[in-house]
Structure 1
Amino acid sequence: MQVCAAPPFAADHVLSCDARWQAHDLLRLHRLPQFDGEPSWVRGAFERAPYAVVRRALAADGFVAIGLRGVERSQRYGTWVYLDDIETAVAPEALAHRAPLAGRNALPAFAALAALQRDAVGGDTAGVLAGFVWGPTGSTGFELATQAPTVTLSSDLDLLIRAPEKLSHDTAIQLLNQLQTIAQRAGIRVDAQLETPAGGVALAEWAAGKARAMARHARGPQLVTDPWAPAHVDA
């Protein structure tokens, strides 16, 4: 988030994340509390689409950390809401096979998503994401969940891939190459993030075979040698 509200709770009340919601889940909210110093675009954006995305940040009991998005790429705002304000939640994988609004499927991000969907529908065991639980995030996931036009001609396709078990570097390289092929055909970037026990790790970074990878967690980013190592399960 480029702008973030002050936490509505004391620092010594901060707990770990509520397991009922995970990073990148989209939450439909009953209401959005007023925040001191919030950007001017926040109210209009919430009226347009009363949704927020769960972000990686700690929260006190009864709260969840969220991110709000406006129309412009620069319009991002991080804050917290009460759990009672949540109406429904949509995980990225629930959007993996959802279709865009009529007339929007020609946009490159949706074209790339459609290529992944065709793999799955065809039952191809060699499909790009065969065997993985995955779903779109970012502007693509937001539009599919809210039905509010958000994707543009230049939008990337952001993906979340659940990876509770260790992914070998060879498998990561193969998966990355397959996704890059789809991206090139669509004329955009496909950015995939692995959801590991240590947090979110960029597929490209893990495939690169570096000594350590950046894992993004609610407690903050950390460099880890193995995102699946037992020492990082509750990191």
Structure 2
Amino acid sequence: MIRAHDIVLLDKTALKNVELPEWVEETDQLFATVRRGMPIEADSVLVGLRGRERQQRFGFETTLNKVEEVIHPWELVTRNSFREAEVTEYSVYQQYREAQLLLKNHHWGVGGSLGFELATQRATIKPSSDLDLLLYANSAAELPMEIIKENLAFFEKLDTQIISQKGGFALKEFLSQPSKKILLKTNEGPKLTTEIW
């Protein structure tokens, strides 16, 4: 199953009829990140390309038969950057190392620029990059709450999302108001709801 935050390797013919922005660079392999949303065609998926700058993002829809490989965020958590010596002092990479220790017995993943670098072996993170941490849980009981509470300052400074079968929501919001309506990101759009699991 393909879902938001997955990274996909696409057949380059996926771009055949797509009008691309000028910043999109020709590469040997075409990697894209899966986006939330409802594709127009049933056998399609929404994806996004990323450029060198943070604001360089381009979304489009492609058919599933153009997907050659799917890399899930949880498959990245034991990988090292291909340029580890260069990025080892970056705060995003140090936070990643800490998360590896804290969450080694739990279901988690890496999204954002670091996830893209770990998946594609392309230089994506910068000294200013943030760690996008994903915690997978289908009930509150599946969350590593003891670890989160013991390391609250660590988790609260990150962009930590909880991914359930219904969508994604912010850990910070869940911690501050677990029984109230929370902004849930779904394929149908954002919803304020208590039905997050």
TM-score (norm 1): 0.73
- How many residue pairs were aligned? 192
Q: CA RMSD in A?
A: 2.5
AA matched with 2:191: Q
1:54 maps to which residue? 34
Whether 2:192 is the aligned partner of 1:223: answer yes
1:41 maps to which residue? 23
Paired with 1:176 and 1:71, the residues of 2 have a C-alpha distance of 36
1:207 maps to which residue? 175
Q: Select which of 32, 42, 56 maps to 1:75.
A: 56
CA distances 1:44-89 after superposition (whole Å, capped 9, x unpaired): 1x52762111111112222111111111100111111121211111
1:91 maps to which residue? 72
Q: Is the 8 A contact 2:137 2:143 kept in 1?
A: no
1:63 maps to which residue? 44
1:149 maps to which residue? 123
1:138 maps to which residue? 112
1:34 Cα deviation from its structure 2 partner: 4.1
Q: Is the 8 A contact 1:212 1:223 kept in 2?
A: yes
Structure-2 change in CA distance of 1:165 and 1:30 (3 Å): same
TM-score (norm 2): 0.87
> Any idea what SS the aligned residue of 2:151 has?
helix
Aligned residues with identical type, % of pairs: 32
Paired with 1:192 and 1:34, the residues of 2 have a C-alpha distance of 36
1:179 Cα deviation from its structure 2 partner: 5.5
Q: Is the 8 A contact 2:148 2:155 kept in 1?
A: no
Paired with 2:43 and 2:142, the residues of 1 have a C-alpha distance of 38
Gaps of 5+ in 2: none
Paired with 1:167 and 1:79, the residues of 2 have a C-alpha distance of 36
